[in-house]
A and B are shown apart, each in its own frame.
Chain A
Amino acid sequence: MTVDLDTLASELAAGEAQPVATEPVTLVIFGGAGDLAHRKLLPALYNLHVDGLLPPRMAVVGVGRKDIGDDQYREFARDGIQRFSRRSLDEERWDSFASSLFFVNSAIDQPGVFASLGSRLDIIEHERGLAGNRIYYLAVPPALFVPTVQQLSHARFVAPADARPFSRLIVEKPVGRDLASARAISDAIAAVFDEHQIYRIDHYLGKETVQNILVLRFGNSFFEPLFNKKYIDHVQITVAEQEGIGTRAGYYEQSGALRDMIQNHMLQLLALVAMEPPRSLDADVVRDEKLEVIQSLRPLEGEAVDMATVRAQYAAGFDLGAPVPGYKDEPGVSRSSRTETFVAMQVFIDNWRWAGVPFFLRTGKRLPKRASEISIHLKEVPPILFNRDPHRRLDPNVLTIRIQPDEGFALGISSKVPGPRVRIYPVNMDFRYGSTFGGSSPEAYERLLLDVMAGDATLFMRRDSVEGSWHWITPILDRWAEQTTDPLPTYGAGDWGPPEADRLMESAGRSWRQL
């Protein structure tokens, strides 16, 4: 009996550590000489290469307006890795990685340029023995999403869904400015790519701690029974940024904190915390359950927006003691700007599990520190026994999931202080990725790029989820757009937001957790 080649390969591979993605592939990065590629994508690819997780045959082709050749692009990549990679650069590994990097100078919004791009890709793929599997990464401004996809279509760069070799598309957020524009972009992309070929990246979903939310909830028997209205008092989700807008005024003036953070990252985190147990870990099953949460959000419209949301803009203040300018003094920002750099809101999920449990979301720029966490506050114990003194109330138990920095989670509990008297002190049972597993965790983009190569869409946003988020967000944007004369609250740089955010919490009988 003869054994065919595939069977032989499978037999030999059994028990061997294999790269997760094995199919040869060409990764074409539109915007390949841009900031995202420099800081995130190229360092992520390098780390995957060092870990032996990339397909054995692969090419990375940057496409952009910069007039540079392959060698200069490799220098650009080397600089990005040296500055931003979690690992220092190893010369031997670098040489083998650099040989897979190429650059094509091309203005993607100009007609006809894809013909020359196609020729170059064909040559690279032929020389490197690549079969024609391609992943197109849109690391370009949102305005170029649709023109780029249309060019890909006109140049016949896109294989049909389920065809071999495959074509896949990675789309960076933001997808749209509101529901209508998100739909328009999605329609244009859907005219070229099937939904199963599209990977909408939200890099938060690639972070280890975020992936661990499902493990925490559904891989342990003592958390999940508590995740409901009977035991949970409220949930806080905070994404705090210490930086101002830097050089991103052009983008941020059009975006603001609601679009930049809440519509995507924070609603996705909310969905992971609140979703029902999926029946399997298949991508669409998990994404169905997340969508259920998004669709169960209580609508905020009209005056309800005013009651449940706070927006503000940072004024001049301090960053670790050093004076920093206010938002309107940042380069490129209009003096009359009403763009919010801070949002706090109270949200309800109108389903059986979470009825009546408030979820508080808070995000902003120029806050005291860079910190993202989800804190799940359990209800207080009854005011008897150890909690009977009204002046010495016990701290309620809090489960905190730290997303960054210092990834991990902590469970706040009450404990007796050693000694003859009964004194209770809040202590943490603390798990830290860094000290528990050692070394540095993979960056979010490493995991996400690998998943696209392997065709696993679990950690990516589906069209209905993106549009579901916009469906919920758009009435808030509309309400704010109507309020053109009301003064926008401000907060000093280095503060935890405006007093209005504190009042939002106080009106709900709670207080923001300090980070």
Chain B
Amino acid sequence: MAPALAALWRSVTPADIDTTLPDLWRDAARDSPVSRALMSNLVIVRHGARPPDDEVVHLEAESNIVRIAERHPARIIVLNYSPDAGRACAPRQATIGVLTFGAGAVRYGVEVIAVDEVCAEASVPSIVRRLTRGDVPTTVWWTADLSRARPPDPMVETGRQFLYDSTGWAEVRLGAARATAILALPHAPDLADLNWQRLAPLRSAIVHGLRNELGAGAPVQNGVMIRHRAGEPAAGWLLGAWLRRALRWTSFPSIEASSNDDEVVTVTLAGERWEMTARMNSQRVLVAGTGEPPPFSIPVPRQTVADEVISELRSLGRDMHLRETMLTLAT
């Protein structure tokens, strides 16, 4: 872990970003050498957000950005995107920064670029294409609810990976439909869902339980019940689609909200003569059957959002299970 963080910031017009960044690097290297670290581009889209009054204060307070920059050095581009079909405008201002970490021979720096209000959908791709570096992978992180707001296709297509979080989706099926529409684009990126990643311990526990210990044949029709925490229906629906696809059912299992806020999601599978329940909370997944053997549990990793994002950034490649789950959910 790098011990120190230093940051240099400058406010510029968008046209001066490229010419001013080298000045910042020179300033950053004035007292001791600094290596420019660049593993990827991370485009963070703040949809519907007006730019903060003081972007520098906001960016420094945004611990996710700093943590990501430190552990997966990416050129971080923050777009404050407020689409307004009624007016086309170019961004007037940008904030650029160099964050440096470490010391001595391992001192390294990362670029951050925050572009103020981008209001015309059509103008977004030209900004993203200009600011991203082509020789490293690009991830577009859509921080808004995908079921409420759709990202412009050309912006999505600039990325190799489209990152989102389905946890708070207001309309799960609509969100899934939009995610799968992205997969149909001519230059479709890979999907990465932070919620899907969080559910990985539960999926893994269910597979283990069925395969090794607690299951005795496939669940019967209507033998699957999923309860999700109130306000987080996507967790239930993702697991429902995952199971439906695997069981080749033509309909979804029973999915309902639970009044038990301790458990994120609970999945009960029942066969002819067996039943297995997997309960996931923020600490562990507990799996218990109706008889022998005794319950088992597996831990849920304690991760920040930054940890989860870094994990996705480093996992380039097509997640076929997520892809097919989304397709199932969207149908």
Contact = CB atoms under 8 A, between A and B. Distances in A.
Interface of A: 242, 317-323, 368-369, 371, 389, 391-393, 398, 400, 405, 410, 412, 417, 423, 425-428, 430, 432, 434-435, 493-496, 499, 502, 513-515
24 contacts: A242-B130, A317-B126, A318-B127, A320-B14, A320-B91, A320-B127, A321-B120, A321-B124, A321-B126, A323-B90, A323-B123, A368-B126, A368-B130, A393-B317, A400-B135, A423-B314, A423-B315, A425-B316, A426-B136, A428-B135, A428-B136, A494-B126, A499-B186, A514-B158
Contact of A426 (B120, B137, B318, B319): B137
Given A318-B122, A410-B135, A389 B317 contact: yes
Contact of B129 (A322, A368, A389, A425): A368
A371 B123 CA distance: 20
B88 interface: yes
Interface residues of B, number: 40
Given A368-B126, A515-B134, A322 B39 contact: no
Given A242-B130, A321-B124, A495-B125, 7 more contacts: A317-B122, A320-B14, A321-B115, A368-B129, A398-B135, A513-B135, A514-B158
Nearest to A513: B134
B202 interface: no
Given A392-B317, A435-B36, A321 B129 contact: no
Interface string B14-38: 1100100010010000000000101
B219 to A, nearest CB: 28
Contacts of B120: 318, 321
Given A392-B316, A405-B18, A435-B36, A321 B132 contact: no
Interface of B: 14-15, 18, 22, 25, 36, 38-39, 88-91, 115, 118, 120, 122-127, 129-130, 132, 134-138, 154, 158, 186-187, 314-320
Contacts of B318: 391-392
Contacts of A426: 136-137, 316
A428 B130 contact: no
Contacts, number: 93
A494 B125 CA distance: 8
The 7 tightest CB contacts between A and B, nearest first, are A494-B126, A392-B317, A368-B129, A322-B90, A514-B134, A515-B134, A318-B126
A513 B115 CA distance: 25
A428 B127 contact: no
A202 to B, nearest CB: 25
Which of A368, A400, A423 has the most chain B CB atoms inside 10 A of its CB?
A368
Contacts of B129: 368-369, 494, 496
Nearest to A496: B129
Nearest to B190: A391
Contacts of A322: 90, 123
A283 to B, nearest CB: 33
Contacts of B315: 423
B126 A319 contact: yes
A514 B132 contact: yes
Contacts of A389: 317
Contacts of B123: 318, 321-323, 494
A398 B317 CA distance: 18
Contacts of A423: 314-315
A356 B123 CA distance: 40
A507 B106 CA distance: 45
A287 to B, nearest CB: 31
B301 to A, nearest CB: 12
A323 B132 CA distance: 20
B138 A514 contact: yes
B316 A428 contact: no
Contacts of A410: 135
B136 A321 contact: no
B136 A391 contact: no
A288 B88 CA distance: 54
A512 to B, nearest CB: 10
B38 A428 contact: yes
